C-alpha cells in the first residue's frame, strides 16, 4: 500500500510531524481551558471541605453556647438601705457556689468605737 501525503513523496517534508504540530498548536487553548477548569475544580473542592469543617465547628460552638455548660461564679448585691453605701456587705463566690437567689437582712448595724484619752504629760512619756 502506498502512503499518501499532502505534499507528495518527493518534497522531502515530514508531513506527519507537521500535522501533529499543527494539531498540538490548535489544541493549546483547549488544554489551557482544561487546566484552568482543573484548578477551579480543586478550589471548589477545597472550599466545600472548608465549609463542612466550619459547619462542624459551628455545631460544636453551639453546644458550648449554653450557660449550663459553665460554672457560674458571679455574685451581685442590691442595696436597699437609706444610705447609698454599697460597701455595707462584701460578697465572694467560689466554683462550688450553688445557683440561686439569696437574701440578707441586717437587723442591727455595728456602732463606731470611740476611745477617749486624757492626754500625756510629754511626747516622751511611757505609756
Each residue's pLDDT tens digit, 13-53: 788 888 899 999 999 999 999 999 999 999 999 999 999 99
- The secondary structure of the chain as a DSSP string is -PPP-SS-GGG---HHHHHHHHHHHHHHHHHHHHHHHHHHHHHHHHHHHHHHHHHHHHHHHHHH-SGGGS----------SSS--TTSS-----TTPPPS--------PPPPP-------SSTT---
Residue 110 has pLDDT above 50, yes or no: yes
Per domain, the residue ranges of the chain are: 12-63
Span 66-100, pLDDT tens digits: 766 665 556 666 666 666 565 666 677 777 777 77
Taking residues 46-63, what's their average pLDDT? 93
Amino acid at each position: 500500500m502506498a502512503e499518501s501525503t499532502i505534499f507528495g513523496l518527493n518534497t522531502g517534508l515530514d508531513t506527519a510531524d507537521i500535522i501533529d504540530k499543527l494539531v498540538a498548536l490548535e489544541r493549546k487553548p483547549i488544554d489551557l481551558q482544561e487546566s484552568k477548569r482543573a484548578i477551579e475544580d480543586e478550589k471548589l473542592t477545597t472550599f466545600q471541605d472548608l465549609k463542612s469543617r466550619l459547619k462542624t465547628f459551628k455545631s460544636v460552638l453551639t453546644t458550648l453556647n449554653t450557660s449550663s455548660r459553665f460554672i457560674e461564679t458571679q455574685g451581685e448585691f442590691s442595696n436597699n438601705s437609706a444610705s447609698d453605701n454599697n460597701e455595707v456587705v462584701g460578697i465572694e463566690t467560689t466554683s462550688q457556689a450553688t445557683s440561686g437567689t439569696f437574701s440578707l437582712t441586717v437587723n442591727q448595724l455595728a456602732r463606731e468605737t470611740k476611745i477617749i484619752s486624757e492626754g500625756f504629760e510629754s511626747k516622751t512619756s511611757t505609756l
